[in-house]
Amino acid sequence: MSNYRVCVVGGWCGNRMVMVAEHLEGVLSEAGFPAKVFTHSVWDSFSQPPAADLVLQLLPAFKESELGCPLLTVKPLLADIDHPETIARILNQVQAGYPA
């Protein structure tokens, strides 16, 4: 498995945050980008997320300049876990930053 790490940031939407992370791990793997996808909740602690290669936010919590890695807002995944435009943006970003 790759060392590529993706962090899904959420808050009060805890269950959905975990569902999104698990789903995206499968989507990335099927697309040929195996990655470790994990979650970070800002509901109980507004600390910085653990080190990652890409942060996906379900709610606005951080700025890319604070994180030192690419950041995408993926709020549409709360309503549609397979939102085509959002999945395409994620795959494009992963492809751009995925280790060779």
Domain ranges in the chain are 5-97
Question: Residue 100 and residue 88: Cα distance in Å, rounded?
Answer: 20
Measured at the CA of 42, the angle between CA 78 and CA 21, to 5 degrees, comes to: 40
Q: What is the SS3 assignment for 12-63?
A: CCHHHHHHHHHHHHHHHHHCCCCCEEEEEECCCCCCCCCCCCEEEECCCCCC
Q: What is the pLDDT of residues 17-76, one digit of tens each?
A: 999 999 999 999 999 999 999 999 998 777 889 999 999 999 999 999 999 999 999 999
**H or E element: which one contains 87?**
helix 84-97
* pLDDT tens-digit map of 34-48: 999 999 999 877 788
β-strands 36-41, 5-10: how paired? Answer: parallel
Q: What is the pTM of this model?
A: 0.92
| CATH 3.40.190.10 is right for the domain spanning 5-97 | no
